[in-house]
C-alpha cells in the first residue's frame, strides 16, 4: 500500500512537470483543477438513483456504452453518472446524450473518494475493463455499495498474480463481483479470489460493433473518389505510415483512406509527409473535385472511423508495430471485411481469435502486406472466405451485454 500511495503522490507531480510539453497531461491537470466545480454544478440536478460508470478512456467507454444503454432501458428509474480518468475520454464524451452526468474522476485518495461518493450517492458502481482505484473501492465496500468490474481481462504477468502483489490482490477483492471476457481470465482470478462471484460474460465491444454495423451512417464525399477499390487504414501511427507509404507506392490502383490515431493539426501534417500526394478530408469536402484516378485521403476529423470501414475492400488497423499494440480490429470485422494488422497482437484476444478463424491477418513487413493485399484483390474465393469468417467471428461473440445485465438482475445489484 505504501508504494500505491507513493504513486498517488508522484502522478500529479509528474503530470505538472511534463504538462508544458504534453497536451494530454495539461488537459488532465486542468480537468482535475476544475473537477469539484463541475461535480457541484451537476449534483443539484440529480433526480433519480445513480448508477456510477467509470471508464479509463475513450476505448473503455466504447466497451461500456452497450451496458449503459441497456441499464437505461432496464432501469429507467435510475440515472447514469459517467466518469473518465483520461482527457481522451472526457473531452470526446463530456456531452454524450447516452448518460445523464459526465465528469472526470477525482484522483484517488481517501478524502476524494469519500467526498465524491457522498455527493453522488451511487446505488451501483461499474468499472469497465481496467482501472483499480483502492480508496474508491474501499469507500464503496464500507458503505455496502455494490461494485462490479465488467468485460475484464487478465494476464498471468499482471501484478495481481505475483508473489509480491498482495496489496493489489486485496484491491481486486474489494469488488463485489467480477465479470471477465474469457476462461483464462476466470481461472486466474478464481485462483486468487475463490470466494468472490466471478462469471465469464464476454466482451461487450462485440455488441457495440455489431449494433454500429447494423445502423451505419453514409458519407456522400465517398462518391468523389474513383471507382477503384478502397483500403482503409484506421488508428495509424508513425510506424504504420512508414509501412503504408511503401505499400501505397506499389499498389497504385487503390484508393487509400488513412485515419491517424491522432487528428490534431501537428499529427496530420506529420502524416502528410509520408503521403505527399494526399489531401485531407476537409480539403476534399471543400472542393468540387471528383477523382477519376486513385488517390489518398487523410482523415482529419474525429468520430467517423467506425462507419468508414463499411467502404473498405480491405481494412488495416494500426498500432501493431508500436508500443501500444494493435487497435480495434472488431469495427472493420463487423462489416465482414478482411482485416490486416501489425505483428504485436499477442495481448489482444480478439485479434488472435479473428486471425485463427481466418477473418484477419497479421503482417510483419510492407512486402508481406503487399503480397497479402494482392492475393485478396485477385482471388475472389480467398477474399470471400476471409470476409465470411470476419462476419462470423463477430456474430459468435455477441451477447456480453445481455449476460451482464442478467447478472445484475440475478444478484439483485439494483432494486
Question: By the 8 A CB rule, do 89 and 16 touch?
Answer: no
Q: What is the pLDDT of residue 106?
A: 97
Question: By the 8 A CB rule, do 183 and 205 touch?
Answer: no
Name which of 181, 126, 184, 189 is nearest 152 in CA terms: 181
Integer Cα distance of 47 and 78 in angstroms: 9
pLDDT at residue 324 greater than cutoff 80: no
Mean pLDDT within 270-291: 95
Under CATH, what is the fold of the domain 216-395?
A: Rossmann fold (3.40.50)
In the chain the first and final C-alpha atoms are separated, in Å, by 34
Confidence of residue 378 (pLDDT cuts 50, 70, 90): very high
Give the model confidence (pLDDT) of 124-178 as tens digits.
Answer: 999 999 889 999 999 999 999 999 999 999 999 999 999 999 999 999 999 999 9
Exposed, middle or buried: residue 277 (CB in 10 Å: 0-12, 13-18, 19+)?
Answer: exposed
Integer Cα distance of 322 and 243 in angstroms: 12
Stretch(es) of the chain classified as CATH 3.40.50.2000: 216-395
Mean pLDDT within 334-354: 94
Q: What is the pLDDT of residue 98?
A: 92
Q: What is the pLDDT of residue 92?
A: 85
Mean pLDDT within 74-80: 97
Distances (CA, A) of 129 to 61, 126, 401: 10, 10, 13
Mean pLDDT within 320-329: 90
Give the model confidence (pLDDT) of 49-66 as tens digits.
Answer: 999 999 999 889 999 999
Integer Cα distance of 51 and 59 in angstroms: 20
Confidence of residue 395 (pLDDT cuts 50, 70, 90): very high
Integer Cα distance of 75 and 80 in angstroms: 10
Give the other-Cβ count within 10 Å of 375's Cβ: 13
The pTM score is: 0.92
Name which of 234, 262, 233 is nearest 247 in CA terms: 233
Q: What is the pLDDT of residue 271?
A: 97
Integer Cα distance of 270 and 145 in angstroms: 48
Distances (CA, A) of 266 to 23, 260, 269, 270, 272: 12, 11, 5, 6, 10
CATH class of 2-202+399-410: alpha beta
Q: What is the pLDDT of residue 1?
A: 84
Phi then psi dihedrals of residue 360, to 5 deg: -140, 160
Question: By the 8 A CB rule, do 315 and 309 touch?
Answer: yes
Q: What is the pLDDT of residue 131?
A: 85
Q: What is the pLDDT of residue 200?
A: 98
- Percentage of the chain beyond pLDDT 90 is 91
Of the listed ranges 152-156, 235-239, 252-256, 324-328, the least confidently predicted one is: 324-328
C-alpha cell at 153: 481481462
Stretch(es) of the chain classified as CATH 3.40.50.11720: 2-202+399-410
Give the model confidence (pLDDT) of 18-47 as tens digits.
Answer: 999 888 899 999 999 999 999 999 999 999
Rg (CA), the chain: 22
Amino acid at each position: 500500500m505504501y508504494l500505491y500511495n507513493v504513486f498517488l503522490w508522484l502522478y500529479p507531480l509528474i503530470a505538472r512537470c511534463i504538462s508544458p510539453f504534453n497536451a494530454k497531461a495539461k488537459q488532465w491537470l486542468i480537468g482535475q483543477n476544475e473537477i469539484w466545480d463541475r461535480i457541484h454544478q451537476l449534483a443539484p440536478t440529480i433526480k433519480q438513483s445513480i448508477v456510477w460508470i467509470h471508464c479509463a478512456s475513450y476505448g473503455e467507454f466504447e466497451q461500456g456504452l452497450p451496458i449503459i444503454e441497456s441499464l437505461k432501458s432496464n432501469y429507467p428509474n435510475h440515472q447514469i453518472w459517467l466518469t473518465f480518468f483520461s482527457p481522451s475520454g472526457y473531452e470526446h464524451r463530456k456531452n454524450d446524450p447516452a448518460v445523464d452526468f459526465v465528469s472526470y474522476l477525482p484522483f484517488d485518495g481517501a478524502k476524494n473518494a469519500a467526498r465524491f461518493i457522498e455527493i453522488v450517492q451511487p446505488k451501483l458502481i461499474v468499472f469497465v475493463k481496467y482501472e483499480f482505484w483502492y480508496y474508491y473501492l474501499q469507500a464503496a465496500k464500507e458503505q455496502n455499495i455494490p461494485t462490479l468490474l465488467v468485460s475484464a481481462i487478465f494476464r498471468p504477468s499482471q501484478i495481481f498474480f505475483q508473489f509480491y502483489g498482495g496489496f493489489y490482490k486485496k484491491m481486486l477483492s474489494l469488488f463485489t463481483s467480477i465479470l471477465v471476457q474469457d476462461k483464462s481470465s476466470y481461472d486466474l482470478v478464481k485462483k486468487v479470489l475463490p470466494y468472490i462471484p466471478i462469471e465469464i460474460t464476454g466482451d461487450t465491444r462485440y455488441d457495440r460493433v455489431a449494433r454500429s454495423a447494423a445502423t451505419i451512417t453514409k458519407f456522400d464525399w465517398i462518391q468523389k473518389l474513383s471507382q477503384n477499390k478502397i483500403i482503409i487504414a484506421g488508428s495509424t501511427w508513425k510506424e504504420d505510415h512508414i509501412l503504408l507509404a511503401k505499400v501505397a507506392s506499389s499498389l497504385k490502383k487503390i484508393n487509400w483512406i488513412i485515419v491517424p490515431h491522432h487528428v490534431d493539426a501537428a499529427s496530420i501534417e506529420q502524416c502528410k509527409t509520408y503521403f505527399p500526394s494526399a489531401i485531407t478530408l476537409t480539403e476534399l469536402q471543400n472542393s468540387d473535385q471528383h477523382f477519376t484516378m486513385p488517390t489518398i485521403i487523410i482523415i482529419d476529423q474525429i468520430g467517423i472511423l467506425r462507419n468508414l470501414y463499411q467502404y473498405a475492400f480491405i481494412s488495416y488497423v494500426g498500432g501493431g508495430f508500436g508500443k501500444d499494440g494493435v487497435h480495434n480490429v472488431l469495427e472493420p470485422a463487423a462489416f465482414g471485411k478482411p482485416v490486416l494488422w501489425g505483428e504485436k497482437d499477442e495481448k489482444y484476444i480478439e485479434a488472435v481469435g479473428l486471425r485463427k478463424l481466418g477473418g484477419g491477418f497479421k503482417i510483419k513487413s510492407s512486402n508481406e502486406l503487399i503480397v497479402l493485399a494482392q492475393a485478396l484483390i485477385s482471388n475472389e474465393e480467398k477474399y470471400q472466405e476471409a470476409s465470411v469468417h470476419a462476419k462470423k467471428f463477430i456474430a459468435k461473440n455477441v451477447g456480453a451485454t445481455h449476460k451482464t445485465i442478467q447478472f445484475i438482475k440475478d444478484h439483485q445489484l439494483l432494486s
